[in-house]
Amino acid sequence: MRLGVLDIGSNTGHLLVVDAHAGAAPLPAYSFKQPLRLAEHLGPTGDVSQVGIDALTDFVREAAQVADEKGCAEVMAFATSAVRDAGNSDAVLAHVQERTGITLEVLSGEDEARLTFLAVRRWFGWSAGRLVVFDIGGGSLELAGGADEAPDVAWSLPLGAARLARTTLSQRPTDVELKALRRQIRADIAANAGQLLRAGAPDRAVATSKTFRSLARITGAAPSGDGALVRRALPLVELREWIPKLVGMSLEELSSLPGVSASRAHQIVPGALVAEACMDIFDLAELEICPWALREGVILERLDHLSFLGTE
């Protein structure tokens, strides 16, 4: 069957159309996305601005039309931290539903972590053993670990790359700013690190989504054009060597790096600091990059449900 998953993130709105059935990997058929940057449309009170609401509504309306044109039998639409944390979240959701007919489900941070973990488990399989999974989004950092398809522990922290870029760093961060941000990031992650650490070292440590993919590419990983089956990793040693270079670069220089888009260049430094902290605190020499993440997790869980009901 053909399914659409409409993901409203803190950075991007993304409709992924896939051909899928139980027991097979979802096959991407079409992708439609726009850089909404909702995390940067939050006003002083934490509300999404009218400009942000209008951009979101226009995108959802267009995405719904694309899904119809591509023959999607069902569209699963969800929003993550930018909408979840907004002071006017209910009003935003009601406005989108009224103008487009699409109801956005707001995922909790724990659900984001859980569904991303499911996608990673399905990608690597049971031979991966105990997994720990990290996902740096625009608004939040998700962490999860476990030996099964459902993680033993899963939680979310407000350490997304766009959020940190907007609230904590100037365009040319000073040493004082960087030191304060590094301290904040590490304290927030370490506060609940024992949830993962008490189970011992993982058999495989994995990272997903755009920030980690960009950092891996900067440090020498294969380009996306080489295909999803090529192994990619983010090594801590190389990341540490790159962070001072990234701090010293202009936005134009950052956006010229492999794997970095102009719309996300300002997020690379805070994203790198979060990635470094995750690896340091959990004593990980590298993180393997998984091409599947939250959207695939949503699709896989839906397929499991349809298969259970016997309607797939």
**190-208: per-residue pLDDT in tens?**
999 999 999 999 999 999 9
- What's the pLDDT score for residue 66? 98
b/e sequence 245-259, b meaning 16+ C-beta within 10 Å:
ebbebeeeebbebeb
Model confidence at 184: pLDDT above 60: yes
- DSSP code per residue over the chain: -EEEEEEE-SS-EEEEEEE--TTS--EEEEEEEE---GGGGB-TTSPBPHHHHHHHHHHHHHHHHHHHHTT-SEEEEEE-HHHHH-TTHHHHHHHHHHHHSPPPEE--HHHHHHHHHHHHHHHH-GGG-SEEEEEE-SS-EEEEEESSSS-SEEEEES--HHHHHHHT--SS--HHHHHHHHHHHHHHHHHTTHHHHTT-S-SEEEEESHHHHHHHHHTTPPPGGG-TTS--EEEHHHHHHHHHHHHTS-HHHHHTSTT--GGGGGGHHHHHHHHHHHHHHTT-SEEEEES--HHHHHHHHHHHHHHHHT--
Model confidence at 312: pLDDT above 60: no
Confidence of residue 24 (pLDDT cuts 50, 70, 90): confident
Of 38, 60, 59, 57, the C-alpha closest to 49 is 38
- What's the pLDDT score for residue 311? 59
Model confidence at 213: pLDDT above 60: yes
Q: Please give the share of the chain, as a percent, with pLDDT higher than 90.
A: 88
Spatial distance between the Cα atoms of 20 and 285, rounded to a whole number of angstroms: 35
Q: Greater confidence, 137 or 166?
A: 137
- What's the pLDDT score for residue 309? 65
Model confidence at 181: pLDDT above 60: yes
| Domain parsing of the chain, residue ranges | 2-106, 109-294
- What's the pLDDT score for residue 215? 98
User: How confident is the model over 21-29, as a mean pLDDT?
Assistant: 89
Spatial distance between the Cα atoms of 143 and 258, rounded to a whole number of angstroms: 26
pLDDT tens-digit series, residues 106-155: 999 999 999 999 999 999 999 999 999 999 999 999 999 999 999 999 99
The reply to whether 109-294 shares the fold of 2-106 is yes
The encoded tokens of residue 50 equal 């009218």
pTM (2 decimals)?
0.95
- What's the pLDDT score for residue 45? 86
Q: Tell me which fold the domain 2-106 belongs to.
A: Nucleotidyltransferase; domain 5 (3.30.420)
Confidence of residue 310 (pLDDT cuts 50, 70, 90): low
- Please classify residue 45 by burial: count the beta carbons closer than 10 Å to its beta carbon, then call 0-12 exposed, 13-18 middle and 19+ buried: exposed
- What's the pLDDT score for residue 196? 94
User: How confident is the model over 213-238, as a mean pLDDT?
Assistant: 97
Q: Greater confidence, 295 or 173?
A: 295
Confidence of residue 216 (pLDDT cuts 50, 70, 90): very high
- DSSP code per residue over 126-179: GGG-SEEEEEE-SS-EEEEEESSSS-SEEEEES--HHHHHHHT--SS--HHHHH
Q: Report the mean per-residue pLDDT for the chain.
A: 94
Task: Report phi then psi at 110, rounded to 5.
Answer: -65, -40
- What's the pLDDT score for residue 169? 77
Q: May I ask the CATH class of domain 109-294?
A: alpha beta
Q: Which of 41-50, 109-118, 244-253 has the lowest mean pLDDT?
A: 41-50
Spatial distance between the Cα atoms of 105 and 190, rounded to a whole number of angstroms: 30
Model confidence at 22: pLDDT above 90: no
